[in-house]
Amino acid sequence: MVVLKNTTNIAMNEYNEIRFFKGVFWGLLFVFPFWSIMIALFIWHCK
């Protein structure tokens, strides 16, 4: 039972890490275009 519990914990940790990285990846994917537009507008205004 202890071994099973340990493997489940490891599996859950891996799953959570994958989900976390996916979340960061999608967050960057959605935030990056927004920030590039903001920076472009800022540079355009400063000219």
Tell me the DSSP string of 12-45. HHHHHHHHHHHHHHHHHHHHHHHHHHHHHHHHHH
Residue 15: what pLDDT?
85
Does pTM top 0.75 for this prediction? no
Tens-binned pLDDT, residue by residue, of the chain (47 aa): 566 777 788 788 888 888 999 999 998 888 988 999 999 999 999 98
Residue with tokens 């976390």: 20
Query: Taking the domains of the chain in order of start, what are their residue ranges?
Result: 1-47
